[in-house]
C-alpha cells in the first residue's frame, strides 16, 4: 500500500492535465452557438468541393520533393550548432583548421547530393 502512495502525485497530475485539456472543449460545446448549416457541414480541402475519391493515387513526385526537402532541411539544421560555437572554434588554434575542414567536408557532401538529385531530374517539375 505504501508503494501506491508514491504514485498519488502522478495520478493527480494526470487528472489535472485531463481537466485542463477537456474543460475548454466542454465549455465551448456547452456555451457556444450550435447552428449547423450546409456550408459548415461540407468537407473543405482546398477551397473547392472534393470531386474524386479520397483514396486516389498521387504522383510519386510529390513524395520525392517532400523527401528531398526534409533531407536538405535536416542537413542544413546541422549548420546551426557549428555556427553557435564558431567563435570558440576560431579562437582555439588547435581545432581551428579541423573545424573549418570538417564543415567543408559536410558542405561538400551536401553539394554532391544536391548535384546528384539535380542531375537525376528529381528537382524537375513538369
Higher pLDDT, 121 or 50: 121
d(CA 23, CA 16): 10
99/52: higher pLDDT? 99
pLDDT tens digit string along 7-23? Answer: 999 999 999 999 999 99
Helices and strands of the chain, counted as H and E runs:
7, 0
pTM of this structure:
0.49
All cell numbers assigned to 29: 460545446
- Residue 53, pLDDT score: 66
What is the predicted pLDDT for the residue at 37?
82
If we measure between CA atoms, which residue out of 118, 119, 109 comes closest to residue 78? Answer: 109
- CA 87 from chain centre, in angstroms, equals 30
Residue ranges per structural domain of the chain: 2-41, 60-119
Return d(Cα 56, Cα 97) in angstroms, integer: 54
| Euclidean distance between CA atoms 35 and 78, whole angstroms | 50
37 phi and psi, to 5 degrees? -140, 180
Amino acid at each position: 500500500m505504501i508503494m501506491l502512495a508514491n504514485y498519488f502525485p502522478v495520478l493527480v497530475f494526470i487528472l489535472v492535465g485531463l481537466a485542463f485539456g477537456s474543460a475548454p472543449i466542454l465549455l465551448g460545446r456547452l456555451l457556444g452557438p450550435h447552428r449547423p448549416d450546409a456550408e459548415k457541414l461540407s468537407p473543405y480541402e482546398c477551397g473547392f468541393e472534393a470531386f474524386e475519391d479520397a483514396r486516389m493515387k498521387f504522383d510519386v513526385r510529390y513524395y520525392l520533393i517532400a523527401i528531398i526537402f526534409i533531407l536538405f532541411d535536416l542537413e542544413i539544421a546541422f549548420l546551426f550548432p557549428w555556427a553557435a560555437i564558431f567563435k570558440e572554434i576560431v579562437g582555439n588554434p588547435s581545432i581551428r583548421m579541423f573545424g573549418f575542414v570538417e564543415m567543408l567536408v559536410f558542405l561538400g557532401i551536401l553539394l554532391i547530393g544536391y548535384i546528384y538529385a539535380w542531375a537525376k531530374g528529381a528537382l524537375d517539375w513538369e
